[in-house]
């Protein structure tokens, strides 16, 4: 099947993700669309986060902003990991300065009734936004994304952001049957959300399991990996590369790759050399400049970008990115300069 236009499918990003050689790594930044950009803050003035994710005019404009400004090699679809659970009817909001907040957290089996399966009919706006974007992006690939079952479950069970994921882990161990049923629903929702984006023209996908690093490898493999495998498997027949990312996942890298990804996202705590060794050289890597270094002098940033590019050459493929999202206080010119540097390495 061939959904995206040819050129985007032959882009540096897709080629690196497919383990094909390139003159330099492609570069994009997690959270490149967002609060570090004045044009983003201006367009979001007076519009709630969830509303802005459901309006194709805003989604397309916000997704394009970093592409125009920085010349990154990929666009990331402007949305949020909680958009699909909101679309099936979970009452939630994305509160400024906080993040996703769920009105009635999930605690019992009866709560699963509030979480029906996602179909394309829940998210016609997502299809429309992706179509508009793909037309505007031309040969720049669009990365579709979804939250992984564990990270989504954490927001649903905790009711909002959590540092410890205590209730989530307690539910996982106290009622494994309910945990697995909850994650099976979330895997369907995440998988279908990815599928909708790819069918509308996205050229790659990223599954964000941002908080999986809170788990031991044992718990990850028993309680999480089977569900992430289902979510990633939902687009397996659509011929797009899949990136699997989490924070603090040094112990989980091999398990995350084995869940069904071509690219493993590496946060800033693990050197790419070590990540590649842990993954047996079988995956492309994405990462991993420490976002904190964006506040260091340019010479420091440049040295680290060059080191990361060199380390990435040993892997089956490399996509240059940060080790986590762009901090809101980042000077956007620094990101532009990193893109220019990486591009100069291929000349």
- When the beta carbons of 195 and 316 are compared against ligand 1CP, the nearer one is 195
Residue nearest to ligand 1CP (CB): 99
Cβ proximity of 26 and 12 under 8 Å: yes
Q: Considering the complex, what minimum distance in angstroms separates the CB of residue 299 from ligand 1CP? A: 27
Place of tokens 């990223």: 206
Residue 180 in contact with ligand 1CP, rule: CB under 6 A = no
Q: Tell me the C-alpha to C-alpha distance, in Å, between residue 300 and each of 273, 289, 293, 297.
A: 20, 11, 8, 6
Q: Scan residues 36-55 and list those touching ligand 1CP (CB under 6 A).
A: 44, 49
Exactly one of 76, 238, 270, 316 binds ligand 1CP (CB under 6 A); which one?
76
Q: Which one of the listed residues 18, 31, 217, 337 is annotated catalytic?
A: 31
Place of tokens 């010119």: 333
Cβ proximity of 72 and 27 under 8 Å: yes
Q: Considering the complex, what minimum distance in angstroms separates the CB of residue 110 from ligand 1CP? A: 26
Q: In the chain, which ranges are E strands?
A: 75-76, 92-95, 99-102, 142-147, 204-208, 242-245, 263-265, 284-289, 317-322
Does the annotation count 15 as an active-site position?
no
Contact stretch for ligand 1CP (CB under 6 A) within 92-100, 114-122, 257-265, 301-309:
92-100
- When the beta carbons of 21 and 97 are compared against ligand 1CP, the nearer one is 97
Instruction: Please tell me the count of residues contacting ligand 1CP according to CB under 6 A.
Output: 23
Does the annotation count 35 as an active-site position?
yes
The string of DSSP codes covering 247-280 is SS-TTTHHHHHHTT-SEEE--TTS-HHHHHHHTT
Q: Considering the complex, what minimum distance in angstroms separates the CB of residue 74 from ligand 1CP? A: 10
Exactly one of 38, 71, 89, 96 binds ligand 1CP (CB under 6 A); which one?
96
Cβ proximity of 14 and 241 under 8 Å: yes
Q: In 105-250, which ranges are E strands?
A: 142-147, 204-208, 242-245
Cβ proximity of 152 and 101 under 8 Å: no
Question: Between vectors from CA 69 to CA 264 and to CA 47, what angle results, nearest 5°?
Answer: 90
Q: Scan residues 264-303 and list those touching ligand 1CP (CB under 6 A).
A: none
Does the annotation count 80 as an active-site position?
yes
Residue 312 in contact with ligand 1CP, rule: CB under 6 A = no
Site string for ligand 1CP, 313-342 (x = CB under 6 A): ------------x-----------------
166, 168, 171, 174: CA torsion to nearest 10 = -50
11: left (phi over 0), alpha (psi -120 to 50) or beta: beta
Does the annotation count 31 as an active-site position?
yes
Exactly one of 73, 80, 192, 262 binds ligand 1CP (CB under 6 A); which one?
80
* Rounded Cα gap, residues 98 and 106, in angstroms: 19
Q: Considering the complex, what minimum distance in angstroms separates the CB of residue 63 from ligand 1CP? A: 8
Residue 256 in contact with ligand 1CP, rule: CB under 6 A = no
Exactly one of 5, 99, 105, 327 binds ligand 1CP (CB under 6 A); which one?
99
Residue 142 in contact with ligand 1CP, rule: CB under 6 A = no
Query: What b/e string do you get for 326-335 counting C-beta neighbours within 10 Å, with b at 16 or more?
Result: beeebebebb
Q: Scan residues 181-240 and list those touching ligand 1CP (CB under 6 A).
A: 208, 210
Residues of the shown chain interacting with ligand 1CP in the complex, contacts defined by CB under 6 A: 30-35, 44, 49, 76, 78-81, 94, 96, 99-100, 145, 151, 161, 208, 210, 325
Query: What are the catalytic residues?
Result: 31, 35, 44, 80, 155
């Amino acid at each position: 099947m061939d959904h995206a236009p040819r050129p985007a499918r032959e882009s540096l990003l897709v080629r690196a993700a497919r383990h094909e050689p390139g003159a330099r790594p492609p570069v994009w930044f997690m959270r490149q669309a967002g609060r570090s950009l004045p044009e983003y803050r201006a367009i979001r003035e007076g519009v709630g986060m969830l509303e802005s994710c459901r309006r194709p005019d805003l989604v397309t404009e916000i997704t394009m902003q970093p592409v125009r400004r920085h010349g990154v090699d990929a666009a990331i679809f402007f949305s949020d990991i909680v958009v699909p659970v909101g679309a099936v009817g979970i009452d939630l909001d994305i509160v400024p300065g906080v993040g996703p907040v769920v009105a009635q957290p999930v605690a019992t089996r009866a709560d699963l009734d509030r979480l029906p399966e996602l179909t394309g009919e829940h998210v016609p706006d997502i299809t429309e936004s992706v179509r508009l974007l793909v037309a505007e992006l031309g040969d720049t690939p669009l990365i579709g994304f979804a939250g992984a079952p564990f990270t989504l479950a954490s927001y649903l069970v905790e009711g909002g952001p959590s540092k410890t994921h205590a209730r989530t882990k307690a539910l996982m161990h106290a009622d494994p049957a309910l945990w697995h049923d909850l994650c099976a629903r979330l895997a369907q929702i995440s998988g279908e959300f990815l599928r909708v984006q790819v069918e509308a023209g996205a050229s790659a996908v990223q599954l964000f399991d941002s908080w999986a690093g809170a788990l031991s490898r044992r718990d990850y493999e028993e309680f999480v990996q089977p569900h992430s495998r289902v979510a990633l498997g939902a687009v397996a027949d659509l011929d797009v590369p899949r990136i699997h990312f989490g924070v603090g996942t040094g112990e989980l890298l091999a398990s995350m790759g084995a869940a069904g990804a071509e690219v493993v996202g590496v946060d800033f705590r693990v050197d790419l050399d070590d990540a590649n060794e842990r993954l047996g050289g079988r995956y492309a890597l994405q990462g991993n400049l420490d976002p904190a270094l964006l506040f260091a002098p340019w010479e420091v940033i440049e040295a680290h970008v060059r080191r990361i590019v060199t380390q990435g050459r040993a892997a089956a493929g490399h996509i240059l990115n940060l080790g986590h999202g762009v901090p809101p206080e980042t000077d956007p010119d620094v990101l532009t300069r990193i893109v220019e540097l990486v591009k100069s390495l291929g000349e």
